[in-house]
Amino acid sequence: MLKLFTLIFWLVVHPVHVTLLSIEYSGEKRLFEAFLRIYYDDYMLDYKLLTGNEWKFNINGNKEEAIIYLTGYLKERVQLKSGKASFDLIINDINLSDNELNIYMQFKSDGKSKGFTVRNSILADIYNDQSNLLIFRYEDFEEGVKLTPEKREHEFDIKKSLIN
């Protein structure tokens, strides 16, 4: 019983440092659709670290202003590349519920490459135990990886995976 209480207490006191990023190619739209979930309070800490400014947005207020700030932040923290070419990030929508910030985005791409690199350095400069979970889908290819402060990017070799 004491072990159970200790475990529950530790989980409540110790915050979880995790984000979830899902990226999927849409051949029909000729772009990558992406979804990112991050805890709002963690985002605010990382935003302040990146910019040196404290900024809080009102999701029910000026959503366009919030998207502008988030776009600048995410262009520094999340990239999708093929070779040396980086794809432009566009935020379509955002919402905040129970301290979870959900961001719906797109990366414009012709999708012709068979190798992509995703970089996610969100919160990697703040928490040593940060886990940035990433799911990448391209046609029949799907792979999930965990990015950390030590491993901030992952290369997906679509061509090699489709041959095997």
Domain extent listing, the chain: 27-163
For tokens 């530790």, name the residue: 10
The per-residue pLDDT for range 83-93, each reduced to its tens digit, is: 888 899 999 99
pTM of the model: 0.85
For the cut 50, the answer to whether the pLDDT of residue 10 exceeds it is: no
Burial class (CB in 10 A: 0-12, 13-18, 19+), 151: exposed
User: Of 130, 125, 133, 129, whose CA–CA distance to 154 is shortest?
Assistant: 133
For the cut 60, the answer to whether the pLDDT of residue 7 exceeds it is: no
Helix (H) or strand (E) holding 163: helix 158-163
pLDDT tier at 161 (50, 70, 90 boundaries)? low
User: Of 38, 69, 30, 48, whose CA–CA distance to 134 is shortest?
Assistant: 38
